[in-house]
Amino acid sequence: MEEESRKNEKLALAGQLAAGIAHEIRNPLTAIKGFTKMLREPSEKQSYYAGIVLSELTSIEAIVNEFLLLAKPQHAEFKRHDIFLLLQDVVNLLRAQALMQNVEILLEPVRRRVNVLAVGTQIKQVFINIVKNAIEAMPDGGHVHLLVNVEGEMVSIRIQDEGVGIDEERIKHLGEPFYTTREKGSGLGLMVSYKIVRDHGGDIDITSSTHRGTAVEIRLPVDGADENRTGTYGPREE
């Protein structure tokens, strides 16, 4: 619990930082990026350097955008969403990237429709972050299983991979700002995901075993307005 409140404090701090810094950085960043693009023409060497500058600017831009997302959740609108359809969108979005890495994403059909009250784009962002992490954890390919289960008043979405796993020491640091083990990672994906899920009244639990894989469980409150609607439905035919 103490660890939990330490994490909360860090999240609050990161949120405050986000509001101030992100706006200040984004405008000059856009201008620099535009002018750098114009520099690409001249000599081969200059265009090589400009390429590096552009790629670094793009990394900074990605970090700033994630911070902005963190700073603005209160402006977004909560609506009723079918959790399965949100997941299906995410699977469609990431299928190509997964295939390139020899990874198959398997979304298990569900028996019951489940709605949540959510900001759709934010919850999708959480699924994208976590499924991407799962794909990246399997450099030699494998499967990502997505399972939806209703447990009382909560719906649990389990995202399970067969990847490298996370050892006990590292698992404590997940969700801390800038914690990453990846060369190109920002270390913000999980932090943003924790924040969004908490804003939705839910929680995230991560269990892992090195070399065997990782399971991320996201729990969200069910929007119970249409509890009686039942029926089996699975992935849409395309």
**Which residues here bind ligand ADP, judged by CB under 6 A?**
129, 133-134, 137, 161, 163-166, 174, 179-182, 185-191, 214
Alpha carbons 163 and 143: distance in angstroms, whole number: 9
| Residue 209, CA atoms < 13 Å, CB-side half-sphere | 3
150 exposed, middle or buried (CB, 10 Å; 0-12, 13-18, 19+)?
A: middle
Alpha carbons 215 and 159: distance in angstroms, whole number: 6
Minimum distance of ligand ADP from residue 104's CB (angstroms):
15
Q: Of 103 and 222, which CB lies nearer to ligand ADP in the complex structure?
A: 103
Q: Of 115 and 213, which CB lies nearer to ligand ADP in the complex structure?
A: 213
Minimum distance of ligand ADP from residue 213's CB (angstroms):
7
Q: Of 105 and 191, which CB lies nearer to ligand ADP in the complex structure?
A: 191
Q: Of 66 and 223, which CB lies nearer to ligand ADP in the complex structure?
A: 66
Minimum distance of ligand ADP from residue 190's CB (angstroms):
3
Those residues with Cβ within 8 angstroms of residue 169's Cβ, 6 or more apart along the chain or in another chain: none
Q: Of 104 and 226, which CB lies nearer to ligand ADP in the complex structure?
A: 104
In this structure, which amino acid lies at residue 106? L
Minimum distance of ligand ADP from residue 140's CB (angstroms):
13
Residue 150's φ and ψ, nearest 5 degrees, are -95, 125
Minimum distance of ligand ADP from residue 72's CB (angstroms):
19
Alpha carbons 139 and 161: distance in angstroms, whole number: 12
If phi > 0 it is left, if psi is from -120 to 50 it is alpha, else beta; for residue 88 that is alpha
